[in-house]
Amino acid sequence: MLWETLRLAVTTIIRNKLRSFLTVLGVVIGVAAVIAMVTIGQGSSAQVSASVEALGTNVLIVRPGSRGFGPPGGGEAAPKFTLKDAEALRTLPQIAYLAPINSGGQTVVYGNANAATQVYGSTADYLRVQNWPLLSGRNFAEGEETSGAAVCLIGATVQAKLFGNADPLGETIRVKSVACNVIGTLAAKGAGSFGQDQDDLVLMPIKTVQRRLEGNKDVTSISIALRKSVTSADGIKAVQDLLRERRRIAIGQADNFSVTDMKEITSMLSGVNSVLTGLLSSVAAVSLLVGGIGIMNIMLVSVTERTREIGIRLAVGASAGQVLQQFLVEAIVLSLLGGIIGIGAGLGLAYVGSIYMAIPFAPSGSVVALAFGFSALVGVVFGYFPARRAAKLDPIEALRHQ
Amino acid sequence: MPPPLIVLRDVARIYGAGEAEVRALDGVNLTIRQGEFVAIMGPSGSGKSTAMNIIGCLDRPTAGQFLFQGIEVQGLDQDRRALLRRHCLGFVFQGFNLLARSSALENVELPLIYKGQPRALREARARAALEKVGLQGRESADPSQLSGGQQQRVAIARALAGDPMLILADEPTGNLDSHRSHEIMLLLQQLNREEGITIVMVTHEEDIAAYAGRLLVFTDGKLTRDSAQPERR
């Protein structure tokens, strides 16, 4: 009997193709939205973990100002670091590599081409801390660092903007007012944890940037790679102790600088990520609910339209339960159909989206199963009321219905 | 001796209450035996349709007893009456009441689906029923592709497919011209005579009622005439 009912439901749905499609459209959109949101969300989580891992898990970032991520905040401006602080830190036995950084936005020009980019003043160790290989050319020489020579390494994005396919090695670009010799190019890294372009930068010796671009002696942050044998907790402790001493912070007083490790950043980023995914998914879930109401609406109309048919079925011996079953099964088949189409569309959207956003495509079986189950539930919940109305029809009235 | 097929004892069907009370049937006593062909006549509002609905187990009497093969139907709930309809009754309506956009064969199979018969058996029985009403070769036709007379034949085949003891026909020729009416009535007579199926038919045309062997006339909810008559050929 159930098989017959199923066959009947499918026949009815196929007979009214356009109407069936419009009926399930709400569920399709709801399910597609949920699937796309969750899949893209998981993809970007995977991306965050991967990009943080590429940085190396034993990397610390030291910034002046109160603890936190992003621009240094706090009431009174915390004193900046100097190159002397960096030199002092370098003596710590826990540290493998260390790179002081002084960065700012600048316009770079080559011939007719120009680009707005970020200029990082640092040392040769910057690439070691970042675990960043060169594509061509060479890193800074020690003499260039100490003398503040006008040399630079350029990222893949800057290279493409200024040189196109031409070879930039040995060419001279202008950074603000400084003519600067390109001695190397960096391997492409792709999008970062926030989707920012990591290849959009020019790297120069820090003294060059301090003297000739920024006109100060500041170090805005320090990147540190710890030795492999050192835990990040021990590393952070050593860095903090030394800096508190150098900055003369009394016992009991709060730090006026922050030391962040990558684990913290990872968990913070994936926290933001999952909150966002959850929010967007719940909006999508609401549209699934609206889709269910759409199905109920059409099923109610359908029951009214098919009153006579119901009367005939009752007259030839259908029980109220069989009529209920017929309409309930039809609603469930409809919403499952919507669910299947929605899963396909959602995965497709997520696939296109992940290519566009350059994140991994991470479909999850459990989410697909959940969406499928949820659309079945929508069919049961929103199909029951119309089906009960059909089953409660009086056969005499139903047969008389025009 | 088996109990009579249908017994109505002091049956009343009352709609509304108090001032607005309408007695559609009022103290009807009636016995119909297996194999009879009964015509019910009467002006509109006389209660003939109400009597049909009660005999067809679609409605229940407000008072009195209705026995179908000795079973007291007035005490049965909707699902039990559905079972009775499924296994013992067949309906033929004035407006044919076929499912649109379903083939003749599918229409005839309908009661067999609810009987839970397997597909192959269903199809064989439906084909046999269509053949009995002279529609072999039109199994796959939609109702819209059939003439009125042919549609009524499909409806009769549907009633027949369930292997009923009783066929209830509600103005079966009301939508047909006299030639087609004659053919349909001959078919019903034939089923009555050859298959032994009891037929109860409501009509308001005397020449149609004349095909039946027994005539009942209702007036104001009461059975006012009950007479045997020779069946018209």
Q: What is the pLDDT of residue A60?
A: 87
Name the residue among A315, A320, A399 with its Cβ closest to that of B79. A320
Q: What is the pLDDT of residue A193?
A: 62
Task: Identify the DSSP state of A81.
Answer: B
Cβ contact, residue pair A312, B85, below 8 Å: no
Cβ contact, residue pair A317, B115, below 8 Å: yes
Cβ contact, residue pair B99, A309, below 8 Å: yes
Q: Which of A128, A158, A157, A131 is nearest to A140 (CA)?
A: A128
Q: What is the pLDDT of residue A194?
A: 64
Q: Which of A215, A134, A115, A122 is nearest to A175 (CA)?
A: A115
Q: What is the pLDDT of residue A75?
A: 46
Our CA-based measurement puts residue B230 at a distance from the nearest CA of chain A, in whole angstroms, of 31
| Amino acid in the structure at residue B31 | T
Residue A110 has pLDDT above 60, yes or no: yes
Residue A228 confidence class, pLDDT cut points 50, 70, 90: confident
Strands B198-202 and B166-170: parallel
pLDDT digits (tens, 9 = 90+) for A31-64: 998 899 888 888 888 887 777 666 666 888 898 8
B93 vs A contacts (CB less than 8 Å): 399
Low-confidence ranges of chain B (pLDDT < 70): 1
Cβ contact, residue pair B87, A317, below 8 Å: yes
CA-to-CA separations, B138 to B67, B99, B106, B121, B182, in angstroms, rounded: 39, 16, 12, 19, 21
Interface confidence, given as ipTM, is 0.92
Residue A74 has pLDDT above 50, yes or no: no
Contact with chain B for residue A2, Cβ under 8 A: no
Range of the domain at B129: 6-228
B87 vs A contacts (CB less than 8 Å): 317
Within a domain: B177: yes
Domain boundaries, chain A: 2-51+267-400, 80-255
pLDDT digits (tens, 9 = 90+) for A280-311: 888 877 888 888 888 899 889 989 989 999 99
Within a domain: B101: yes
B85: closest chain A residue by CA:
A317
Q: How far is it, in rounded angstroms, from Cα A61 to Cα B81? A: 82
User: What are the beta bridge partners of residue A101?
Assistant: A221
A15: closest chain B residue by CA:
B101
Within a domain: B28: yes
B106: closest chain A residue by CA:
A8
Taking residue B129's Cβ as centre, other Cβ atoms within 10 Å add up to 24
- Tokens 């397997």 belong to B118
Largest CA distance in chain B: 56
Our CA-based measurement puts residue B57 at a distance from the nearest CA of chain A, in whole angstroms, of 9
Identify whether the C-beta of residue B185 lies closer than 8 Å to the C-beta of residue B9.
no
A397: closest chain B residue by CA:
B58
Contact with chain B for residue A265, Cβ under 8 A: no
Within a domain: B26: yes
Q: What is the pLDDT of residue A76?
A: 53
- Tokens 């999008």 belong to A191
Q: How far is it, in rounded angstroms, from Cα B173 to Cα B201? A: 10
Structural domains in chain B (count): 1
Residue A357 contacts by C-beta under 8 Å, 6 or more apart in sequence? A40, A43, A44, A191, A195
Within a domain: B233: no
pLDDT digits (tens, 9 = 90+) for A9-40: 898 888 888 989 988 998 899 899 889 988 88
Beta strands in B156-197 (DSSP E): 166-170
Select the residue from B13, B52, B91, B113 to test the A interface by mutation, using most A Cβ atoms within 10 A: B113
Contact with chain B for residue A392, Cβ under 8 A: no
Cβ contact, residue pair A313, B110, below 8 Å: yes
Within a domain: B1: no
User: What are the beta bridge partners of residue B148?
Assistant: none
Residue B191 contacts by C-beta under 8 Å, 6 or more apart in sequence? B132, B156, B160, B167, B197, B199
User: What are the beta bridge partners of residue B169?
Assistant: B92, B201
pLDDT digits (tens, 9 = 90+) for A130-181: 888 888 999 998 888 888 889 999 999 999 999 988 899 988 999 988 899 9
Q: How far is it, in rounded angstroms, from Cα B93 to Cα B170? A: 5
A317: closest chain B residue by CA:
B86
Q: How far is it, in rounded angstroms, from Cα B165 to Cα B154? A: 18
Q: What is the CATH number of the domain that holds B145?
A: 3.40.50.300
